Amino acid sequence: MTPTLHCFAQSGNAYKVALTLALRDQPWTPIFVEFFAGAARTDAYRAVNEMGEVPTYTEGALRLTQSGVILDHLARRHSRFGPETEAERQEILRWLLWDNHKLTANLATGRFMTLFLPEAKRNADIIAFLLGRARAAMGVLDARLANRDFILGPRLTIADLSCAGYLYFLDEIDLDIAPFPHLAAWRARIAALPGWAHPYDLMPGHPRDQG
Ligand SMILES: N[C@@H](CCC(=O)N[C@@H](CS)C(=O)NCC(=O)O)C(=O)O
């Protein structure tokens, strides 16, 4: 039973899952969501994911949404990249929640507004606010990584795979990683892992006029 992932190339949230599968060398089938044509807002997609969000992961009869939930499932299923103790379980959860709220939320929304919203709807002040919040979150993660290879320490976990999701898109927007050297080194460390691929090489829909 090959898992499926509703995804599109520009989605860092889907990438978190796709990357986890790739690093595990786990075959999966992408189901392309024509996000920029409004596919995630259709009744048909809401029947798949009531939140109208990408990604959605299926494995036989199991259907999961929210990247953090999917990553948790994959860590258990593969016995890789997950916690080994109760304290680690809580620590991973802490960083997944933080990523969803502080890092990804601001970075992804700022990037969306910069790149994908029609020009007439872009608001420079809102973009500056969101990317400012994203920079602050990057500072938090940079400090965390000052004396660790990965967020929990010496071992890659799903906390890293969640937090790293949007950082491979940074060159597309006005957000320089240079002021965050530990973050940059950690991002490169993950990119050097066997199986790593850029989101645009892992998921369908890039460039945007291709399915
Ligand atoms: N917390 C969710 C966020 C998912 C999310 O916001 N995905 C974007 C695409 S990358 C989306 O579907 N946005 C639709 C919307 O916000 O209406 C997760 O981690 O899966």
What are the extents of the domains in the chain? Answer: 4-81+196-202, 86-191
Q: What band does 21 get if pLDDT is binned at 50, 70 and 90? A: very high
Q: Which residues, in sequence order, are bridge partners of residue 153?
A: 150
Which pLDDT score, from 0 to 100, does residue 35 have? 98
Mean pLDDT on 188-209: 96
pLDDT tens digits, residue range 112-136? Answer: 999 999 999 999 999 999 999 999 9
pLDDT averaged over every residue in the chain: 97
Which pLDDT score, from 0 to 100, does residue 211 have? 53
Ligand 1 pocket, 162 CB below 6 A?
no
Percent of the chain whose predicted confidence (pLDDT) is above 70:
99
Q: What band does 31 get if pLDDT is binned at 50, 70 and 90? A: very high
The CA 168 to ligand 1 mean position distance, Å, reads 17
pLDDT tens digits, residue range 131-150? Answer: 999 999 999 999 999 999 99
Instruction: Indicate the SS3 state at residue 64.
Output: strand
The arrangement of secondary structure in 86-191, i.e. its CATH architecture, is: Up-down Bundle (1.20)
Task: Return the structure tokens found at 10.
Answer: 């520009």
The CA 94 to ligand 1 mean position distance, Å, reads 19
Mean pLDDT on 53-80: 97
The CA 207 to ligand 1 mean position distance, Å, reads 20
Ligand 1 pocket, 70 CB below 6 A?
no
Which pLDDT score, from 0 to 100, does residue 181 have? 98
- The domain made up of 4-81+196-202 has a fold known as Glutaredoxin (3.40.30)
Which pLDDT score, from 0 to 100, does residue 1 have? 86
The CA 147 to ligand 1 mean position distance, Å, reads 32
Residue 42 has pLDDT above 90, yes or no: yes
Residue that the structure tokens 């109208």 belong to = 52
Ligand 1 pocket, 13 CB below 6 A?
yes
Residue 209 has pLDDT above 90, yes or no: no
Phi, psi torsion values for 86, nearest 5 degrees: -65, -40
Task: Return the structure tokens found at 24.
Answer: 């595990």
Kindly report whether the peptide bond that precedes residue 181 is cis, defined as omega within 30 degrees of 0: no
Which atom of ligand 1 lies closest to the CA of 16?
Answer: 19
Ligand 1 pocket, 21 CB below 6 A?
no
Which pLDDT score, from 0 to 100, does residue 174 have? 85
Residue 64 has pLDDT above 80, yes or no: yes
Q: What band does 210 get if pLDDT is binned at 50, 70 and 90? A: low
Residue 10 to residue 138: CA distance in whole angstroms: 20
Which pLDDT score, from 0 to 100, does residue 98 have? 99
Q: By alpha-carbon position, which residue is closest to atom 12 of ligand 1?
A: 53
pTM of the model: 0.98
Residue 164 to residue 156: CA distance in whole angstroms: 11
The CA 13 to ligand 1 mean position distance, Å, reads 7
